[in-house]
Every structure is written in C-alpha cells, then in structure tokens.
Structure 1
Amino acid sequence: MDGPSLDHEARGKQPGPHVEKRLNAAFVRKAPPGRHTDGGGLYLQVDHSGARRWLLRIVVRGKRRDFGLGSASLVSLAEAREKAYEYRKLARTGGNPVVRERAVEGKATTFAELARTVHERKFKERANNGKHIAQWINTLETYAFPLIGNLSVEDIHQDDLEQVLDPIWTTKPETARRVLQRMKTVFDHACGRGLRTKGNPATGMRSLMRDQRADTKHFSAVPYMEISDLVLDVDQSNDVGALALLFATLTAMRSGPIRAACWSEFDSGLQAWTIPAEKMKTRKEFTVPLSMPARSVLLRAQKHRTKASDLVFPSPSRPAKMISDATMRKLLQSKHPGATVHGMRTSFRTWAAEIVRADHDVAELCLAHKVGSRVAQIYNQAELLDHRLMLMEKWGLWAYGDLEPFSNGNDVEAIIRGRWMESA
C-alpha cells in the first residue's frame, strides 16, 4: 500500500491519486491563503502574510503525522513531490521520517519565514502591547529581510549578520542592538528546533562589532515608542507652549516656522498651512497638509488669538511677540530630559521608516527635505500632497496612542478616509 492509499484510507476515502486536484507551478506562485491539496497527502499551505510552505500529512506507525517539507520559495513543486514520495516510502517500510525531516527543514526554511513564525508565537498572548508587537517584526523587515530574509536559516553565518548591522551600528546604535537581539531570538528558536547544526550565529556578535558611540545617556529625540505617552501628557494643557509643542510634533516641522506661524498662513478650513519662503530653511514656500489632530490643536489655539498680532502661538507675557525658542524645549525636557524639539522630527522619520515603512520621498517631503532634481522637487511637492497628508494622519494616530486601526490586518487608510467623511 503506497502513501496516498494510507492517507485516503485514514480519511475513509477510496484509494488512488486524485489527479484532478494536482497543483501546477503557476498556481503555487499565486495561490491565495489557505491549504491547497496536491494529492497523496501533500499540501501547499499559504499564510495571510504571503508565506507559502509545503506540508505532508501521512500515517506513520499507525498515527497520522504532519511534516513540513520547506518553503515553496526554496522547494519547487517537483522537489516537494519527490520528498513526499520518499517520506511515504519510508513510512510504508516502518521507518520514521521525523529523523530525516530535521536534517532538511533548516535548509528549506528561510529566515523571514522563521522570524514571522517566532513573532506570531512570541506575542500570541500579548495582543495588548500593540506598539512593541509591531516594532518587533518591522525592524527585522526593514533591516534584516532585504539581506538575509530569503536565505535558509541553516546557511546564514556571522558575516551575513554583519552586513545587516554594519550600516546602522554607529548611526542608529539602539536600533542596531534591537535588530541583533531579535535576530538572535530567531536563531535561538532555530537551534532549539534542530533547524541549525552550527549554533547561533548571533552569539558574540556585539564583541565582534566596532565600538558604538559612548554618549548614549541623553537622547536628542524622544523614542517613537514613547511619543504617545508624551503627547497624551502634554495634551492635558491648553497653554501656548503645550499647544505649540503638540503642533510641532504632529506636523514634524522645525520650531522656527512653528513659533512664527500666523493665522493668515492657514486656509479657511485649516486644511493646509502655507509657510512663506522667508520662514523656511530652504527659502522656498512650503505647504503642510494638516491632519485631523493638528487641526484640533489649532482650534484650541484660537483661544489665544489677540489683537496685538496674528501669531498662532503668541508669547503670554508679550502677545505681540512669538514664544521664545526655550518655551517648547523647557516643557519637553521637563518630560524627557535631554530631548530637543528638533528631535521630534527624527522621531517621526524613524517611525515612518520602521513602523509604517513609508515611501522615502513622501517621508522626506513631510520634513521639507529636498528629494531628487529641482524639477522633481516641484513635481513631488504638488503630486505627493495627498500621500503626505495620509502619512501625517497615521502619525497623528500613533502620537495619540490610537492603534486600533493598525491591528488585525485593518486597512488603516480606509479607516482614516472614513473618519474624514464623518468629520466633514
């Protein structure tokens, strides 16, 4: 009795291959999420993340067993069928494919697939900590997956990890340490499951890397994981300095244009803020699309409007003058010693890259940075305005700790558009 017969008999079905259900290479590449049978107990398992792997279900010594035959990106349909045949043949003669499975699974499992598996298991019961859950896998997707994501976990060496870490080891030391720790966790899992025979390549990596900067006691930027705590704290006050700091955070603009902002620079619906060229570092007029949270701050700031000036954030003691450059800084540093208002731009930019993986040009334009040629700069500012607004709306959600739209596979942009319609 061959392997397919064992499987069909276990299901109470007639023996013999179901040829009409056999897969083909094109379907393997494009198959939707779910489990798709090839017959004889061989299945293609497609996760919602897009990861796809081979699964063989056969009877071994009287018990039904499932065997992973590797990633479909590394193991072809023909190879999966060949492996399935070998396993069925081994089981039919009384052998145990488990012994052979561990020897080949590490070769057939990519780092990206195992990382996602570890991520899912690690946080399965910790859904209440959404920010950390998202950050854990996103840092690996941003920094590790492009270089080692498609390599098998068995074949990765320390020099591969060094290529991941070297570009950010001194420029983003905290991020680099987190990436290293998370890669180590993935390889610990690989070693524990017997998927690696060479030990954990991340062990001892810190001692092999060059020294990082020693001045890490004070951070100029508030870590984006702590932004919502800061914003919700500052948001309790309607003082001019607090509102200015909130507006600076939500728009990611420099403190100069914030302090000098005038009501005449905003359109009637507070949808956009057009900053005159003389107030910009680039000496070019710049339009800032305003998110719903940013507009809310402006509405609260209207109580400070005075006949003495058109300033949005006037000095409480001298309304004809803008607030000093120390006003926001002192408030910020009372919450986060060592942090700077300019550092809030860094917080935004890091978040945009690591959490939502925003388009580079969109994120840079949100900061009023130059991108591409002179012609491209003019074109991009006009064409990417809607994209910039959407990114700033996402930042507003994050800043206020409104993370529900980011969870459970939600379409964040659709939720934001729905809220726009509700507020219209």
Structure 2
Amino acid sequence: MARQEKRLSAVALAKLGAGRHADGDGLYLQVDPSGARRWVYQFQLRNRARAMGLGPFPEIRLADAREKARDARKLVKSGTDPIDARRIEAASSVTFGEFADEFMAGLGQKTKDTRAWNPKHKKQWEESLTKHAALLRPMRLDAITTEHILRVLKPLWNRVPATASRVRGRIERVLDAARARKLRSGDNPAAWRGHLEHLDLAKPSKNADDRRQPAMPWADVPAFIAKLRKREGVAPMALEFLVLTGARSGEVLGAKWDEIDLDAKVWTVPAARTKTAKVHRVPLSTAAMAVLDRARQLRDGDFIFPGRRRGGRLTPTGLAIFMRQGMKIDGAVPHGFRSSFRDWCSEHGIARDLAELSLAHMVGNKTEQAYHRTDLLEQRRPVMEKWGQHCVGETVDNVVLFQAREVVS
C-alpha cells in the first residue's frame, strides 16, 4: 500500500473541532470537547493495538509530533514497544532516594490488609533508607550493584549486625518493588539467599541486638541492685525497674501510670512502643511493685519516671550515662540486662518459650504464630517473680520447664 499523504497543516490545527484527526502513518491529533489538544501515535504490535501519547498541542508542534511518531515507528518495526522503551528511558533518571521515599509513603498507608505504621516503625525505616543507605540515595536505580550494597553493609555488619540485617532487607524490598515497576532489571543485588550469603558477610543471628550488647553477668546483678538502691532519684528507680522487668529502655522510660494495673500486677506496654509493634504484657514481681511504690511518691505527671522538665521523661541516653558515670559501670549497658536475664533463664531451667516471651520476642514460625495467640502471662509470672527474688538477693529455685518452640526475633 502506498504511503498515506499527510492530511494536517499547521494552519488548520487550531481550528479543528472535537474528535480524532489523522495526519497519516498512525499520527493523530486528539481534540477534546473542552478544546484541549494532544498528539497520539496509534500502532499495532504483536496483534495488540496500542496508543502512545506524544504530548500536547501547541507545545508540541506538528513537525515535532511527526518526528516523534517517526522514531516510534522505527521501534515498532524492530519489534520494540515504544511505550516500554520510553518508560525504561524515564526510569534511568529515577534515583534510589526518590523511589525509596515513595515506597515508604506507600507502606505507611493503612489498607484493608495492612495497618498504618506506628511512629517507631516509621522512624526505623527512614533511618535505614536515609542514614544507613545514604550512599545509594543519589544513584540511579538501574546503576546499583552488589559492590554498592556491600559498601553500605560492611561498616554495620560486625558492629551492629541486627541493624545491618534490617537495612539489607529494606533495601532488598525497595529494589524488588523497583523491578516490579520496571524501573530496573536483573537480579536483586541486596538479596541474601543465593547471593550475599555466599560473600564475605557472616550470617545474621537471631535476636542479635540483645546478645551483642555489653551485659552484666547474671550472678553480679544482686550486688548491682543493692548498690543502685543506695542512690536517690528517678534514674536509679528506672534502671532497677528495667532490670526487674527485662524490658527495653524505650519501653521503661516511656511507661505511664495508666499502663499499670496495680490490682492485677500487670504492666501493658502499648504496641507503639514495642519493637514487634504488638502489645506486650509484663507480669510485675514483688520487687518491681516495690519500685512502683517508691516512684508513686515522686509522681509528677503521666510518666512513671519523669525527667527534669515538667511533663517530660528520662531518655535512653541519659539512663546509659547514669549507669556508666553515676554507677561507674564500664562493662555493661542498660539494654544488656535483657541478656543477663536470658542467661539466668538458661541456667535455671526456664523454658525457652517463657524466657523469650518475657523478652517480647516472637515465638515460633509464622504458621505457629498464627495459631499461638496467648502470651502465657500467668505462666510467665513465676519466672519474673523468681528473677526479682534473685535480683534483690533472695534464694531462687529452678522453675518448672515448659515445652519450647523455635524463636523468631
């Protein structure tokens, strides 16, 4: 068939009425009832009709539209979809930082299948993909290689392995999403299984945060508590409560009076302040209740352990400084008492389930977690009571074992 002659002229373009006006060889000017005009290239590839927008008129002149259509026709003739080609070309300018921010914004939205992030979870993701992955942020998505991933991870891997593992996992998810959006191709350079596990990185361990923190031997805890009780103020009480409950610093220092059920002797830590983003109930031992009795005498607002400023609270950094400088402890940090408690559990026959649930660790694989919905609060109560007795220097007998399951951090 002979090549169709061009039927549009630059003079007539502004006068055309609503409809689609052919220029030939698949190029059309689409005029909307509103008067808006835009160029469209229509083609067929692999028995599929496709339409490709080429831009608005008059911003895109007739000569420019014809040139764009001509370039698109060359791609179609070679078997390439010009729409896909344009998307790939546009993707080459998208940076990791831009896409990571968009990805996080989408994750944080509540849907029928997912809940909105709590502030702590949001902050952790932002820190991983902005602070720790700063090297990647200005890079094009399709330019990121395994070498770049290793440069991000190696400074963290041995020093803070749990953090490194989370950073790697979050980078992997971002790059997977980019591939699904056709913004990059090929294997994921941040994938662990079948890729990074074969390189010079040690396999990340479960619950590494707790084991890596400098910890006081459990046998030394009673002497430390005795020394701590000689100090006055809020920080000594907060630190003692942290030791007795096995909780994290942020959970203790953010504790409010309305979280405490004095009659039931239970402290309910809200999901927004837990690492697992799930509510954690802590059975309060006699020793822990005694700390609360002392704290009530200093009550000044909602926080159990208030800071110097009215309405404020102590900070984890302040508690660590008090332990290091005020108590002259160099070989341990507040978070390390969780490891002290865990070691004490192992030495005294405490079942693994009970020990790990006491630390608010998730027990079992995903299937088991779906069916195992109890937190074994009452079974944990004697465990925390025995731990409290040990901490204040009382004699402790072994606790009856409870069948254990695999633990997931």
Whether the TM-score (by the shorter chain) exceeds 0.5 is no
State the TM bucket, normalised to the shorter chain. Answer: 0.3 to 0.5
TM-score by length of structure 2 reads: 0.43
More helix by share: 1
